[in-house]
């Protein structure tokens, strides 16, 4: 049965994907190490999910059936990115459907019991429908309404008569005395008694008609309660048998039954949701999960709306996430550096210190650490930066102006002018692309092409800053040369030479152009737990306007 699908089965090759940060994480704590494991729902996987929605909209599904569907972007052992899809429960009365991830193993072990139980549950369902649609319920409702209307008419009439008798009593007391008055008042009291008798007779008539119907309805309600309890007991018994038979596998290759994973009790349907199906299938077929999304499709139910994305359900799926995600390496191994044609460990540098790698009376070059802003921001909590620290450190600090910027998460060479004239000259060189820049990065994946040029236009949505996206209509031309330096396990060390200087250019060109995010780049979809963004501005060459010579600066990559 074909289960793995090409990404192009769901999205067009010309689709523009806004590479914003993940909108949700499937997460849980590893049962062995206790560390938090996370799998993102990215904008890319959401676009794939929308492609599945388009398919479901044209497929002949049971219109009354609403359920959760899921898609999982995986990386095969050969490095190819593919998609698997799953549905919760059954689809059109089937648990195994061509092209979809099959149920978690264990169902076949209780197939006969399941069939017998489902038949009994269907019998209960039909009897419940019959009892809930009992004709006497409607009959009682109609007759009860009619009697209430009669009582209301009678009450209105008797109220008017009562007021009239009160007025007449007052008049008689003013005009009559003695036995004549007593006789007249007695006649009015008799009229009141007759009204009471009439009202009681109508109520007795109502009770005589409605009580038999009430008894039938009460008996039906008691039977409904009994049947619901039977249904609940049968469902629990079946679920217990299935949970004892269901066996889930994680990415360590460990298998546990649902009963072992949730010994304190399992809600109905545990193990049949799309997310556990997808992760179990990926683990058993040696597929590396990259991103996952679940959505509701079909008739709305409760708070579930067709076409909306939802996270792991709190009762059935979330308790399984820690086990299911275990074995997905949250951190890469120590990545080797390439020196003299051999692989050797790369020493790590400390955080900010006196890291001025070049200075003269006109300019300063700093090896900026990751995590520090290049220039101070607009707000109080973003004032700490390379420039602000140098301003406090140097006597002429207030004249310092950054010629260019590096992202806060990026480390490497940052050039700072010590006067406005030098700043203007150097800025022109950057604008005219006369400055040679070399970056080094580690990509979270195996790049198949060893070198080349990436040309993808970038556009930043003003409503979604600072995220950049590839946009062929609005984007600005952006060009990057790349060269693979080394490969280790599932990571690739790459050298980037940006020929243009767009915001997040290397990060987006890596994610979209090479199909591999820079390690630690959570903004564009990397879910690995790392201490930093693995991007470093390693080299910088420019013409010194005062010295009249080319200055070449180089630093050692700190990862």
Spatial separation of the C-alpha atoms in residues 544 and 546, rounded to whole Å: 6
Helix (H) or strand (E) holding 50: helix 43-58
Residues 6 or more apart from 93 whose CB is under 8 A from it?
62
Sign of CA dihedral 190, 195, 198, 203: negative
For 45, 123, 188, 243, the CA distances from 518, given in Å and listed in that order, are 18, 57, 98, 40
Q: DSSP for 209-248?
A: HHHHHHHHHHHHHHHHHHHHHHHHHHHHHHHHHHHHH-EE
- Alpha carbon of 471 to those of 441, 448, 474: distances in Å? 24, 25, 6
DSSP string, 431-486: HTT-SEEEEEEEESS--S-SEEEEE--EEE-GGGTT-EEE-TTTPBP-EEEEEEEE
Q: Which long-range contacts (CB under 8 A, 24 or more apart) does 74-81 make?
A: 74/4, 74/282, 74/287, 74/288, 74/289, 74/290, 75/287, 75/288, 75/290, 75/445, 75/490, 76/4, 76/287, 77/286, 77/287, 79/445, 79/446, 79/448, 81/7, 81/290, 81/515
CB 467 within 8 A of CB 514: no
160 is catalytic: no
Q: Distance between CA 181 and CA 61 in Å, rounded? A: 84
Beta bridge partners of residue 452, listed in sequence order? 482
Given the residues 407, 419, 461, 521, the one annotated as active site:
407
Peptide bond into 466 cis (omega under 30): yes
The set of catalytic residues is 407
């Amino acid at each position: 049965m074909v289960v793995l699908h090409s990404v192009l089965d769901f999205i067009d090759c010309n689709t523009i994907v806004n590479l914003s940060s993940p909108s949700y994480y499937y997460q849980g704590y590893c049962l062995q190490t206790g560390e938090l494991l996370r799998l993102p729902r990215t904008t890319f996987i959401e676009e794939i999910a929308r492609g599945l929605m388009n398919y479901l909209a044209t497929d002949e599904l049971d219109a009354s059936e609403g359920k959760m569907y899921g898609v999982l972007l995986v990386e095969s052992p050969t490095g190819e990115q593919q998609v698997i899809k799953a549905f919760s429960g059954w689809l059109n009365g089937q648990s195994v459907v061509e092209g979809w991830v099959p149920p978690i193993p264990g169902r076949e072990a209780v197939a006969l019991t399941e069939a017998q139980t489902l038949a009994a549950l269907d019998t209960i369902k039909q009897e419940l429908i019959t009892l809930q649609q009992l004709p006497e319920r409607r009959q009682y409702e109609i007759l009860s309404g009619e009697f209430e209307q009669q009582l209301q008419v009678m009450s209105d009439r008797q109220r008017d008569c009562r007021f009239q008798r009160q007025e007449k009593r007052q008049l008689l007391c003013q005009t009559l005395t003695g036995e004549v008055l007593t006789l007249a008042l007695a006649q009015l009291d008799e009229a009141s008694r007759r009204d009471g008798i009439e009202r009681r007779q109508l109520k007795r008539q109502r009770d005589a008609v409605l009580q038999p119907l009430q008894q039938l309805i009460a008996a039906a309600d008691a039977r409904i309660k009994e049947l619901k309890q039977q249904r609940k007991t049968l469902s629990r018994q079946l679920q217990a048998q299935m949970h004892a038979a269901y066996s889930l596998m994680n990415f360590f290759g460990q298998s546990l039954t649902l009963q072992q994973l949730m010994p304190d009790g399992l809600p109905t349907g545990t193990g049949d949701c799309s997310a556990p199906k997808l992760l179990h299938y990926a683990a058993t077929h040696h597929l590396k999960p990259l991103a996952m999304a679940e959505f509701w499709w079909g008739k709305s139910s409760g708070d579930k709306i067709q076409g909306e994305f939802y996270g792991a359900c709190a009762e059935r799926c979330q308790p399984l996430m820690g086990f299911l995600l275990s074995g997905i390496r949250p951190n890469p191994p120590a990545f080797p550096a390439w020196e003299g044609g051999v692989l050797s460990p790369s020493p790590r540098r400390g955080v900010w210190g006196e890291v001025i790698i070049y200075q003269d009376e006109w300019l300063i070059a700093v090896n900026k650490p990751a995590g520090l802003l290049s220039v101070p921001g607009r707000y109080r909590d973003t004032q700490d930066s390379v420039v602000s620290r140098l301003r406090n450190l140097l006597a002429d600090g207030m004249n310092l102006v950054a010629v260019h910027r590096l992202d806060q998460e990026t480390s490497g060479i940052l050039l700072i002018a010590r006067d406005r004239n030098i700043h203007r000259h150097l800025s022109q060189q950057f604008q005219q692309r006369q400055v040679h820049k070399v970056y080094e990065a580690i990509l979270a994946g195996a790049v198949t092409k060893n070198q080349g040029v990436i040309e993808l236009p970038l556009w930043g949505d003003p409503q979604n800053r600072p995220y950049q996206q590839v946009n062929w209509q609005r984007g600005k031309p952006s060009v990057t040369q790349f060269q693979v330096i080394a490969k280790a396990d599932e990571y690739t060390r790459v050298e980037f030479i940006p020929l243009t200087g767009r915001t997040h250019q290397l990060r987006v060109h890596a994610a979209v152009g090479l199909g591999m995010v820079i390690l630690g780049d959570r903004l564009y979809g990397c879910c690995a737990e790392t201490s930093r963004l693995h991007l470093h501005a390693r080299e910088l060459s420019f013409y010194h306007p005062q010295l009249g010579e080319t200055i070449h600066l180089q630093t050692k990559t700190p990862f």
